[in-house]
Amino acid sequence: MSANTDHVGTARIPAAEVTGIKGALIRRFATRMLGRMPDAIGVYWHHQPVLMAIQGFSAKVRKWDACDEQLKTFAHMVVAAKVGCSWCLDYNYFEAQNKSLDVAKAREVPRWRESSVFSSLERDVLEYAEAMTESEPTVTDEMVASLRSRLGDRALIELTAVIAFANLSGRANVALGIGSDGFASACGLAPLPEPSGARPRLRGLES
């Protein structure tokens, strides 16, 4: 499912015009996949080697298959909620439907501690992702041992790398002021909720 909606929010660095042969290819691919080219691409277009490096690594991350896709998507979403990246949170919620994941659970990720819909393993993965995302990571030996016993070494390493990448992309978007493109709402998905006592809402997302 693709989204075709107006961009929400204003980046701190105005998007550049995406031009040239490379730009045309990127525009065509983004439009085919998402219905429009995200403004984030225009922001990163000011430094094309950085854009291509991030996109290239993202493409490799998507090909990894040692860890369950739903666990990785939920982990990415909880990182986005933790650092305040509305773009990443909205996009992964939208992608959960495209990947035929449990959308009802995906919607609950921002308030996972209060929700009863997640399995014990899912809750441990979300806790691990949050612990990795703290300014000083709070991952414990017990967390890793518990996940390792249920996921195995290969899947746990993959999950850890996905969470690390989510931190890279999410924190960069927040710093640059890149907000939600409204993919999920354009597809008719219910607005993401917020946990009680949450910080001010993520820019570009309704509660």
Give the fold, CATH level 3, of 66-186.
AhpD-like (1.20.1290)
Residue 57 token pair: 């690594």
pLDDT at 191 over 90: no
Measured at the CA of 140, the angle between CA 200 and CA 66, to 5 degrees, comes to 85
Provide CATH 1.20.1290.10 ranges for the chain.
Answer: 66-186
Task: Give dist(CA 100, CA 129) in Å, integer.
Answer: 22
Count Cβ atoms within 10 A of the Cβ of residue 146 and give its class: 0-12 exposed, 13-18 middle, 19 or more buried: middle
pLDDT at 137 over 70: yes
Query: Of the ranges 9-13, 79-83, 137-141, 148-152, which one carries the lowest mean pLDDT score?
Result: 9-13
Band the pLDDT of 194: cuts 50, 70, 90.
Answer: confident
- Mean per-residue pLDDT, 133-141: 96
